[in-house]
Structure 1
């Protein structure tokens, strides 16, 4: 069982500027990014036995995290490129 945190900045390092911009300008993106961070934190705590859970709950949390990550990725791909991204 992996206990590596899956922070959005590590998952999408090439989109840091765009993520920051979307968090500030798109309420839906902000909500799903916050939900991703919350479920990711709960998974990490379970994996490190700080808050253990059963396998069924863990699988459900991982599916939820993956669905959120897919939605975030889709929004990042559809978002307009920012001038700052060209400089990165």
Structure 2
């Protein structure tokens, strides 16, 4: 949905406690989450403003966000196990 927030806590509410714990204890996870959150916000703003960039640039932003989200999720699963 347009303008929807894709934060880790929003998309993986079952892992909220682990996300909070990793944000406090893992500097790399926290840094990558900060970058992911910034990317998500940038995409959301662009979508709400009618995509004022080229389709290819938007696709690349979304692809990069998805790759970073996948990396963060994999670290969540590894930390859980």
Normalised to the residue count of structure 2, the TM-score between the two structures is 0.89
Name 1:44's counterpart in structure 2. Answer: 44
Question: What's the offset of the Cα at 1:6?
Answer: 1.2
Higher helix share: 2
Q: Cα deviations across residues 35-70 of structure 1 (Å, max 9, x unaligned)?
A: 110000000000001772211111011011101110
Q: Which consecutive unaligned segments of at least 5 residues does structure 1 have?
A: 82-88
Is 1:14 aligned to 2:14, yes or no? yes
CA RMSD after TM alignment: 1.8
* TM-score, scaled relative to structure 1: 0.83
Whether 1:35 aligns to 2:35 is yes
Question: Residue 15 of structure 1: CA displacement?
Answer: 0.6
Higher deviation after alignment, 72-81 or 57-66: 72-81
**Contact 1:4/1:44 (CA < 8 Å) preserved in 2?**
yes
Higher Rg of the two aligned structures? 1
- For residues 44 and 11 of structure 2, the distance between their equivalents in structure 1, rounded to whole angstroms, comes to 15
- The alignment covers a number of residue pairs equal to 81
Q: After the TM superposition, which parts of structure 1 deviate over 2 Å for at least 4 consecutive aligned residues?
A: none
